[in-house]
Amino acid sequence: GIQVEQSPPDLILQEGANSTLRCNFSDSVNNLQWFHQNPWGQLINLFYIPSGTKQNGRLSATTVATERYSLLYISSSQTTDSGVYFCAVVGSSNTGKLIFGQGTTLQVKP
């Protein structure tokens, strides 16, 4: 099945810094979503981005489907950005299930 690899596994930033999280996937996809898991365990959908670029405030994401990767950019990070960021994909040949990466754990220090 499709493999999803996220890097880095852990990231520590000072408040105000910028960061880039990467998601590589091993096959073509019909769907790619970025999630933020908050300290209460909730999965917050950040972007639905199977291709192209989107921006939402301090966050933006780019997916280059032909090269099988996606990037999540966080600018001017805040302590509330801390948590785990997951990339998840739906492969082109399955029934819609999302395959999740292992996540990037981000800690933003004040």
Partner 1 sequence: EPEVTQTPSHQVTQMGQEVILRCVPISNHLYFYWYRQILGQKVEFLVSFYNNEISEKSEIFDDQFSVERPDGSNFTLKIRSTKLEDSAMYFCASSRRTSGMENTFGSGTRLTVV
List of residues contacting partner 1 (CB under 8 A): 30-31, 33, 35, 41-43, 45, 48, 50, 86, 88, 90, 92, 94-103
CB of 16 to partner 1, least distance (A): 29
Q: Which is nearer to partner 1, 26 or 75 (CB)?
A: 26
Shortest distance, position 42 Cβ to partner 1, whole Å: 5
Element (H, E) at 78: none
The whole-angstrom separation of Cα 66 and Cα 29 is: 10
Sign of CA dihedral 48, 35, 91, 63: positive
Contact between 72 and 102 under an 8 Å Cβ cutoff? The reply is: no
Taking the complex as a whole, the smallest distance from the CB of residue 48 to partner 1 amounts, in Å, to: 4
